[in-house]
Amino acid sequence: MRDEVLDIRDAGHNLMSIVNDILDFAQLQQDKMDIEEEAYNITSTINDIINMALARKGDKQIEFIVDCDANIPSGLLGDEKKIRRVIMNIVDNAIKFTNDGGVIIDIHARREDYGINLCVSVKDTGSGIGEESLEKLFESFSQVDTRRNRQNGGVGLGLAISRALVQKMGGTITVQSRVNKGSIFRFVVPQKVLDENRIGQVINRHELNIAAYFDMEQFDMITIRDEYSKLIMHMVKQLQVKCHVCRNLAELKRRHDIEPFTHIFISLEEYQEDEAYFDELTKHTKVILVLERFNEKYVLNQDIIRLYKPFYILPVVSILNGNAGSGGGKQIVRMGKFTAPNAHVLVVDDNLMNIRVVEGLLKEYQIKVTYATSGQEALKIIEKMCFDFVFMDHMMPEMDGVETMHRIRDKAGHYYQKVPIIALTANAVPGNREMFLEEGFNDFVAKPLEMSVLERVLRRNLPEEKLVLQTRDEQQSMEQQLKESNEKEEKLKIGDLNVEQGLLYCGGPEAYLEILERCFEDGVNERQLLEKLYEEQDWKNYTIRVHGLKSTMQSIGAIPLFEKAKALEMAGKNEDIDYILEWHKDMIAEHIRVMEELKHCPKLHHKLQEDVLPSALGQEKAAIDLPKLDDDMLDSLLTEFEAAMYDLNEEEMLLILGKIQEYQYCGASLKEKLALVKKKVEMSDYMSAVDLAYKIREELKNNREGEFAND
């Protein structure tokens, strides 16, 4: 039954794709589709295409090769969305009909008086097309071989739409193909140039001595061997670096003994040929291992730099310029090439730790963050403040992210229909992205957030006028800071936490330590809430809470606790109550152990948890010694507090809040009760702070009246 339901879902997605193709083609036929000129960075386009193509390739055992010219100008003016769609239509087609060999993308530029001609070719080693079928290849609703399309679906519009789009942009598209040999699609579109800086440039190329050792015999198909060889030689020529292409390990060792290399590029096959030798080399030479992500388990040396396929010029330049960070080994960490100090983002998540992680990542871009911990709170905030876009968590109690998004869209006013809303979810399963986009979200991001993914989302959704691009000097300064930061990261050790993973997800050591600090402070409350939901057998909210804990623990690198929370979340979703009853205590014990690790970490300067979260008895004793505050005086101070909020005067808000916290009200210490209000003010979440202060006043007042009624 599950398989059949998934088939129905997939058929629905395929039908939606077909309908979209038909609508687009109808617009093109009626000449109603306009070409939009916008500034874009070609490197972001290339990265997006690669990510989408890798997702489409899935588990297919074919090579994906990208030969990208380093001399392409970085800033172009044109219809980037349509260029990306044309490339993906062709690449998707190539992957679909290629089962052996690979798909090769070539992107370069030719200089013209008006700017450049962007030239793209997609070559595959697939089934190919006969000469008699080439003539109708670009025709509407035409599939050149219905037998080969039977399993892949579609109505033959993809290539017809691609040709129409290319022609609409003033370009041309051609195809060459041979049956059982493969196809080559080429298209050219004119683009204006806004930024002449090359997309790939090595900073200190004269200081480098590089070796490339790849045994091409590992590839069965001669075409793939030739393409990889051509790619390497093209890279060397473009970057103008000193590079030795070694044919075997003996030659590599001999050359290294004569003149030591600064960088050595190898693949997994070469590494496994003599692991001890390459592990020893990492002590004084950068060894870069080109591999598929699923093969990383075969590499245990943390000093090896991983370069995940495809092997192309942009990550190679990044490595040669020193941009290597830590994360499951030394992965490439892309620094933000812009800031947005005038941007304001709303983050909606019921888990404060997730909010703090997002806030820490956005700190690098100088983006102001306001947060809401529920859908209802988000609806109130967005009525009073304008945001550039909204990060919306999917799973929240009472009102989930989808319903909250729809309620925002239902509000009257142009702003509520147009403000970008990006879905956040820890359940990045196939089909989720399509589901969120179909519901009405503008974008989708999987948790934990990765810096490269976050940067692309920011570029797509922030207003262009709020992006402050960095100069080359500023970028080099950031790169130097990154190198220094990496040296510190390697020394950071916190219990058995996977620090490398935490640093990658939290955006660096400073943000990581801050997240750990707050995670520790919230630890007791989090555990008590889980215990309460467990005792009440509120399995719906228990599942949502465990889902949030899972995401947080993955972000900080607490892998065993992440796994236990993940298993309990799945049990909750499947209504497997027996599993929860059996394993809940085991997860709680692991949570206590992780908090103990944080408690004794010298890198964290927190108070003892007993000080951070005092017992109820301690609160009562503290309240007895404080002067009492009557209703009228509290109302007067809260009115002043709200007025300071409307003036955006944080200093005044904190001053008034400090006065209120010197008192008790209805038998409770306001210092403790308003601690979270103070945190919200310090995080510039003024509106939420005022709402929470009034809410606490009402709760305390109602409790007092309830006690009087009982008496």
pLDDT of residue 504: 66
- Confidence tier at 519 by pLDDT (50, 70, 90): confident
Least confident of 124-138, 296-310, 525-539: 124-138
- Confidence tier at 2 by pLDDT (50, 70, 90): low
pLDDT tens digits, residue range 348-358? 988 776 787 78
pLDDT tens digits, residue range 109-121? 999 989 999 999 9
Q: Tell me 426's DSSP state.
A: S
23 vs 28: CA distance, rounded Å: 9
- Among 335, 269, 342, 330, CA closest to 301: 330
Least confident of 296-310, 418-432, 545-559, 687-701: 418-432
The mean per-residue pLDDT over the stretch 506-528 comes to 77
pLDDT tens digits, residue range 641-673? 888 887 778 888 888 988 898 888 887 888 878
107 vs 87: CA distance, rounded Å: 10
pLDDT at 566 > cutoff 70: yes
pTM, 2 dp: 0.47
Q: φ, ψ for residue 166 (rounded to 5)?
A: -60, -45
Task: Dig out the tokens for 640 from the structure.
Answer: 């002043």
pLDDT tens digits, residue range 200-246? 888 888 889 999 999 888 888 888 989 999 999 988 888 888 999 99
Looking at beta carbons, which pairs linking 32-35 to residues 24 or more positions away fall under 8 Å? 33/168, 35/79, 35/82, 35/168, 35/169
3 vs 132: CA distance, rounded Å: 39
- Confidence tier at 106 by pLDDT (50, 70, 90): very high
pLDDT at 314 > cutoff 90: no
pLDDT at 298 > cutoff 60: yes
Q: Three-class SS of residue 691? A: helix
- Confidence tier at 300 by pLDDT (50, 70, 90): confident
- Confidence tier at 187 by pLDDT (50, 70, 90): very high
41 vs 105: CA distance, rounded Å: 18
The mean per-residue pLDDT over the stretch 183-196 comes to 92
